[in-house]
């Protein structure tokens, strides 16, 4: 190096502080499972938060780049629940410097099973000893409960139904079994709970469009006709009979005419 030249200094770029939660569609659940589940209101889906051993209805999330900003969500947990509890509405809380310092101090005294750190995001399960420590340090958490603002999860909105692998985990598997639904049944290798299955006319007859079935149990459905009329408790056999009568099939599941009640009497 020429003595008159200034030395080259390597500068490590600093991470810009996170100021907003990303939209759900911008989050990859494979690389950011904790963040995805929190934003979706479906904690314990892609990554366990120990709900089989820790019973909690309130959660706090923050990012290491901006520890003064937290998000909270309240999950309605009803006694005897079977399917996973879901979030209500995520709320943002901007902490003062004093509050942020108090939270940092509190986290040092919270047992590790109540805190998850995944790819820069930190989730605090506000239950048991963690809730006691946070309360003792005057961390502002609870604001308004929002009973009316609990949205359907993305897999119900799009009709794909509850993910079977999730419901086969504890404590949901046992609780669904107690309610009369065995998730270990091979039925759930094909169908999903509350999955929506449209009936498609084989002859493209528009008069037979608009029918669907919602899976509510093993070999059990709620049938919805094209006028929106609902018939509950329809069996798998009856659904296939309806498909045949309407000249319809269910993509990838039932081919029109492949089953007849007379064949099985």
Q: Is the pLDDT of residue 6 over 80?
A: no
Q: Is the pLDDT of residue 8 over 70?
A: no
Domain boundaries, the chain: 24-151, 164-264
| N-terminal to C-terminal alpha carbon distance within the chain | 93
Contacts of 119 (CB under 8 A, 6+ apart): 31, 32, 34, 35
Q: What is the pLDDT of residue 27?
A: 97
Using an 8 Å Cβ cutoff, are 243 and 200 in contact? no
Segment 88-135, tens digit of pLDDT? 889 999 999 999 999 999 999 999 999 999 999 999 999 999 999 988
Using an 8 Å Cβ cutoff, are 74 and 161 in contact? no
Q: With a threshold of 0.75, does the pTM exceed it?
A: yes
Q: Is the pLDDT of residue 143 over 70?
A: no
Segment 71-101, tens digit of pLDDT? 999 888 776 789 999 998 899 999 999 999 9
208: left (phi over 0), alpha (psi -120 to 50) or beta: alpha
Q: What is the mean pLDDT of residues 131-148?
A: 72
């Amino acid at each position: 190096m020429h003595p008159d030249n200034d030395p080259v200094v390597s500068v490590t770029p600093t991470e810009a502080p996170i100021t907003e939660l990303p939209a759900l569609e911008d989050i990859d659940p494979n690389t950011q499972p904790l963040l995805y589940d929190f934003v979706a209101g479906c904690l314990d889906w892609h990554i366990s938060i120990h709900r089989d051993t820790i019973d909690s209805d309130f959660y706090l999330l923050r990012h290491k780049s901006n520890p003064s900003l937290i998000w909270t969500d309240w999950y309605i947990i009803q006694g005897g629940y079977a399917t996973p509890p879901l979030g209500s509405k995520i709320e943002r809380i901007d902490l003062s410097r004093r509050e942020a310092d108090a939270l940092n101090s509190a986290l040092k005294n919270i047992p590790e099973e109540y805190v998850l750190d995944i790819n820069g995001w930190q989730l605090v399960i506000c239950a048991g000893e963690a809730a006691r420590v946070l309360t003792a340090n005057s961390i502002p958490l609870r604001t308004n409960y929002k009973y009316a603002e609990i949205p359907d999860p993305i897999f119900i909105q799009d009709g794909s139904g509850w993910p079977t692998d999730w419901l086969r985990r504890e404590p949901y598997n046992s609780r669904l079994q107690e309610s009369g639904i065995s998730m270990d049944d091979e039925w759930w290798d094909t169908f999903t709970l509350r999955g929506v299955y449209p009936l498609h006319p084989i002859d493209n007859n528009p008069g037979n469009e608009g029918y669907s079935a919602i899976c509510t149990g093993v070999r059990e459905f709620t049938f919805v006709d094209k006028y929106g009329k609902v018939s509950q408790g329809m069996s798998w056999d009856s659904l296939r009979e309806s498909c045949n009568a309407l000249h319809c099939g269910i993509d990838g599941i039932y081919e029109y005419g492949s089953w007849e009640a007379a064949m099985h009497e």
